[in-house]
Amino acid sequence: MVWQNIIIQGDCLRAIENLTPEYHGKIKLIYIDPPFFSGTDYSLKKRYDESSSNDSPEIEDIKTYSDKWEGGLEEYLKFMRERLELMPELLTEDGSIWIHLDFHVAHYIKTILDEIMGYHNFVNQIIWKRTNSPKIQSKGFGSQHDIILLYAKDSSNFRTNLVYREHDERALKPYSYKDERGRFRLIEIEAQGIQRTEGRKRYEWRGRTAPYLYKREKLDAWWEQGLIYESRNNRYSKKQYLADVPGIPVSDLWLDIPPLQGSSKEYLGFITQKPEALLERIIHAATIKNDIVADFFAGSGTTAAVAEKTGRKWIACDWSEISIDLIQKRLEQIWKKWPKGKEPIKANLVKVDNS
Ligand SMILES: C[S@@+](CC[C@H](N)C(=O)[O-])C[C@H]1O[C@@H](n2cnc3c(N)ncnc32)[C@H](O)[C@@H]1O
């Protein structure tokens, strides 16, 4: 069957129920960025620049969704639990679910997910620095980060793909050597500190006797490849060229993905819109091409947009008509820039009955 991406308009509870028979065990990644229990109404800042004759384009505030809960925390957690409980069924055995939250409820949702997914399938709590200028608080500290909880369907089958972030100034500092092959740093090949005195055998190699960390054959091979650096006092180290290092392996602390600014090209005026770079990282860590990615609280469609650009199949659901309209327009913009000859996979719009 030829794959068609799916946009679903409606409550994700019904959407997931409807999807489950066909997509049971087929989705590799579920990323959701649901309401955070923030007590706020959110809007879309729509610009009408074409029609305005003056320099300042008109901006209209259109209400998109409410994150206010009459029944308080209890009502919110019930809402989340009902929907979270349905999601694991959809995941492949090596799949994962990433839930984007903040300080308001992340810890309550963690305990619910421990129950649903199993504590042993909890993989990471990722901290994303979402703003450079936290609001001053009357009590306590301003909040500067969001929390992304990562659970595997089955941790014994799960492993994130290696993702790297760019070298920063601090990481580049040791690469202070240079030769005709480029910048490099030195890596010890002799045991240091306690390792040195732990009974490691010393042997002679190219005129220097030392407790080498590697076998003679390995050192010979590196020598042949020009990867050994000899200092003036006849001490050897291994050269690590910057060009051979793809970047710094990403940890659970994400400080390098900047928040969306009002002036960012990708910003559509959707107040809780997340940066594409954030979704790129998640999608690259959790999937490969042609895997299915789903987002059941799609908002402005960041997940769908990145999945589309990176060759993943996708399902995006939101109950707001404004979001659905925004997602469709966002995709059309992507397709406009599609390389010649590359046919976009059309997305089917499905409406689910919320009753
Ligand atoms: C925080 S926003 C998502 C933002 C999105 N990650 C982005 O980058 O644009 C949450 C979205 O969830 C939607 N939503 C809330 N409850 C929902 C439900 N029960 N089913 C489907 N969508 C829902 C809201 O309409 C809103 O668009």
* Range 70-96 burial, b when 16+ CB lie within 10 A, else e: eeeeeebbebbeebbebbbbbbbeebb
Last residue of one domain, picked from the residues 244, 260, 291: 244
The residue contributing the CA closest to ligand 1 atom 12 is: 297
> Residues 161, 197: one domain?
no
Report if pTM > 0.85: yes
For residue 51, the model assigns a pLDDT of: 54
Residue 121: CB within 6 Å of ligand 1? no
> How far apart, in Å, are the Cα atoms of 286 and each of 159, 251, 303?
8, 14, 13
The first and second tokens of residue 33, run together, are: 């960025």
Residue 237: CB within 6 Å of ligand 1? no
Q: Which atom of ligand 1 is nearest to the CA of 34?
A: 10
The residue contributing the CA closest to ligand 1 atom 21 is: 318
CB–CB of 331/304 below 8 Å?
Answer: yes
**What residue ranges of the chain have pLDDT lower than 50?**
none
Last residue of one domain, picked from the residues 227, 244, 261: 244
For residue 216, the model assigns a pLDDT of: 96
Overall number of domains in the chain:
2
> Residues 160, 307: one domain?
yes
Residue 229: CB within 6 Å of ligand 1? no
Residue 31: CB within 6 Å of ligand 1? no
> Residues 138, 259: one domain?
yes
The residue contributing the CA closest to ligand 1 atom 26 is: 299
> Residues 202, 338: one domain?
no
For residue 52, the model assigns a pLDDT of: 53
Q: Which residues pair with 215 in a beta bridge?
A: none
For residue 339, the model assigns a pLDDT of: 86
Q: Could you tell me the residue range of the domain that residue 189 belongs to?
A: 169-244
For residue 173, the model assigns a pLDDT of: 95
- Close Cβ partners of 151 (under 8 Å, ≥ 6 residues apart): 96, 97, 99, 113, 117, 121, 122, 123
Residue 273: CB within 6 Å of ligand 1? yes
